[in-house]
Structure 1
Amino acid sequence: MSLRTLASFAVAIFLGLIAVLMVRGVIASQKPAAAQTAAMTPVVVAVTPIERGVELKPAMLKTVNYPNDAVPAGSFRSADLLVGKDVPARTAVRSLAANEPVLAAKLSGAENKTNLSNTLAKGMRAVSIPSSDVVAVGGFALPGDHVDILLTRTVGKGETETTVTQVLAENSLVLGIDQMSDQEADKPQVSKAVTVQVTPEQAQAISLGQSVGAVSLMLRSSTDVDALGRKVTTVADLVEPGARKAAPVRRPAARTGPSPSGMTEVKVTRGVETSGYSVRAF
């Protein structure tokens, strides 16, 4: 066998070994990917932003794989569960962003009702407060904000009568403004009613407060969850200690002796002014 033939065989064997190694590398890299795919779960998400009150359509939804340990609670595995042939129409009760998972809590029930009751936390109640530009903080209290609810009323009778402001509820969630409950709203709106989420006891106090005084809202910072330090403020709390002016002192009239003409000089001091008067002595 010639040297040239041996060299050809050696090159062929070398190339064959390289090909085997490359195939083994490809197969090894595909195994983790297959294992990773097996650990994924399909989740239905929104293709484009979906506004509140919009009925779901097939073109609005798609399925994306989520890791098994990151699947959101209340999500759906298939779009057919939401827009299938025999599935009742579903409507968004909360706005959805693009690629956001579609959750049961953000959709109407099987009867296609967009009830506010679906959004209330367990054990809480919704109560509406007649609103104006003053009550609703100039229209800046919007759905999703948190407010403190205050009552200003008159207490006592006669000389003990005074005006007080007390806290009826703290850090209450604003559910809606008039008939709007879109938490994506970002423009001030002067409304006729503000609906807030409170406890049953707070709802009773607010209802009673509206009949005995003026109820108003105090807008909170989005990061403020601290309790208020003062629950009741009276008129006396508006004046700082020592700020009250002392009443002018009325000094008694100064009487001098009778003059040779039988007249007496009398001096009267009112506040800081002193006046002199001549009167006939008896």
Structure 2
Amino acid sequence: MRSLFGLVLVAGLGLAGTAVYMVRNHFEAQAAQLAAQQATMVHTVNVLAAKRTLHYGERITPDDLVYVRYAEDFLPEGVFLTLEELFPQGPEVQRAVLRQMEPNEPILAVKVTAPGEDAGLTARLSPGMRAFAISVDVASGVAGFLRPGDRVDVYWTGEAPERGQVTQLIESGLRLVAIDQTADANIDATIVPRTVTVEASPQQVAKLALAQSTGSLALSLVGQGDGSVASAVEVDRMALLGIQAEAEPPATEEPPPAPRICTVRMRRGSEVIETPVDCPTN
């Protein structure tokens, strides 16, 4: 009996140990799986986004917004996390849309005005910059393919002293803020503008005003993503036709003047005698 009891006890202890070992392995496997999931988990936060398509100039209300989950590590600059951030003075003091936004697109500070402001030119100008209008036509205005937000180079053509007509690059990479009377960058139709408005510093404005009054201006569209800065460009008629100015012949030194010789003639009979004398100083 005692032997049987001992065998049962040993078997029970063995089974209990096996069960504990299996349970421990199960929990360890679950813990490792949970740790692996947490390592690959992307932390997200709620950000305010457009509930519908928001067009240029529209006023934004809380009904136009929805919260979307966005990866915290990849949040774009200028997002709004709460309605209080977007409407710091209350929902009655609204912001206006500067750039069109699509549904579920996060609201960014660069795409809306400050609270209470309209979507006019003043809202699109960078600090310290000014708006300057340039008269254009179908040729000088890139055939109507310009849009607000594009960048252009400005060329001046006028008369230069002793050189005739000259074309010169006077400004590079100016940003367009308006075409005619619209600052909406989402223009669908191709239009031939009469004026374009560029963003420029006060010094650039003075330069453009003088250039526009003394000659004609033409615009050249800069490619999207082109960060190069155009170097000095100037072309006159000689360069246009490939004519090189003839080099002036080198100046030759004049020979020194011959020494001055003064003489006095005296006649002796039929013979004339010349006698050297000092030349007068006057």
TM-score by length of 1: 0.67
Which of 211, 214, 222 is the matching residue for 2:213?
211
Hey, what does 1:41 align to over in structure 2? 45
Which of 99, 121, 124 is the matching residue for 2:104?
99
Cα displacement string for residues 125-155 of structure 1 (whole angstroms, at most 9, x for unaligned residues): 3211122222211111222222110111123
Report the Cα distance in structure 2 between the residues aligned to 1:121 and 1:86, rounded to whole angstroms: 26
Hey, what does 2:77 align to over in structure 1? 73
Report the Cα distance in structure 2 between the residues aligned to 1:43 and 1:94, rounded to whole angstroms: 18
Deviation at 1:39, TM superposition (A): 4.2
Gaps of 5+ in 1: 1-13, 243-282
Identity %: 25
Deviation at 1:81, TM superposition (A): 4.0
Which of 61, 64, 69 is the matching residue for 1:64?
69
Hey, what does 2:144 align to over in structure 1? 139
The one-letter amino acid of 1:72's match is P
Hey, what does 2:116 align to over in structure 1? 111
Deviation at 1:106, TM superposition (A): 1.4
Report the Cα distance in structure 2 between the residues aligned to 1:84 and 1:120, rounded to whole angstroms: 22
Report the Cα distance in structure 1 between the residues aligned to 2:83 and 2:37, rounded to whole angstroms: 25
The one-letter amino acid of 2:78's match is G
Cα displacement string for residues 136-193 of structure 1 (whole angstroms, at most 9, x for unaligned residues): 111112222221101111233xxx3611112120122222101222233354211121
For the Cα contact (< 8 Å) 1:58–1:83, is it kept in 2? no
Say if 2:91 is the partner of 1:89. Answer: no
Report the Cα distance in structure 2 between the residues aligned to 1:44 and 1:37, rounded to whole angstroms: 22
The one-letter amino acid of 1:185's match is I
Question: Are the structure 2 counterparts of residues 18 and 189 from structure 1 closer, same or farther at C-alpha, using a change threshold of 3 Å?
Answer: farther
SS of 2:57's partner is coil
Hey, what does 1:192 align to over in structure 2? 194
For the Cα contact (< 8 Å) 2:42–2:71, is it kept in 1? no
Cα root mean square deviation, aligned: 3.8
Report the Cα distance in structure 2 between the residues aligned to 1:124 and 1:112, rounded to whole angstroms: 18
Gaps of 5+ in 2: 1-17, 245-282
Report the Cα distance in structure 2 between the residues aligned to 1:178 and 1:104, rounded to whole angstroms: 26
Report the Cα distance in structure 1 between the residues aligned to 2:236 and 2:139, rounded to whole angstroms: 20
Report the Cα distance in structure 2 between the residues aligned to 1:173 and 1:134, rounded to whole angstroms: 19
Question: Are the structure 2 counterparts of residues 146 and 40 from structure 1 closer, same or farther at C-alpha, using a change threshold of 3 Å?
Answer: same
Report the Cα distance in structure 2 between the residues aligned to 1:226 and 1:70, rounded to whole angstroms: 28
For the Cα contact (< 8 Å) 1:43–1:78, is it kept in 2? yes
For the Cα contact (< 8 Å) 1:42–1:66, is it kept in 2? no
Report the Cα distance in structure 2 between the residues aligned to 1:79 and 1:62, rounded to whole angstroms: 10
Report the Cα distance in structure 2 between the residues aligned to 1:72 and 1:183, rounded to whole angstroms: 21
Hey, what does 1:120 align to over in structure 2? 125
SS of 1:54's partner is coil
Q: How does 1:174-189 map to 2 (within 5 A)?
A: 174-189=176-191
Question: What is the number of residues matched between the two proteins?
Answer: 238
Report the Cα distance in structure 1 between the residues aligned to 2:204 and 2:191, rounded to whole angstroms: 25
SS of 1:74's partner is coil
SS of 2:208's partner is helix
Report the Cα distance in structure 2 between the residues aligned to 1:133 and 1:64, rounded to whole angstroms: 47
User: Which deviates more from structure 2 when the two are superposed, residues 231-240 or residues 79-88?
Assistant: 79-88
The one-letter amino acid of 1:58's match is D
Deviation at 1:235, TM superposition (A): 1.7
Say if 2:225 is the partner of 1:226. Answer: no
For the Cα contact (< 8 Å) 1:137–1:219, is it kept in 2? yes
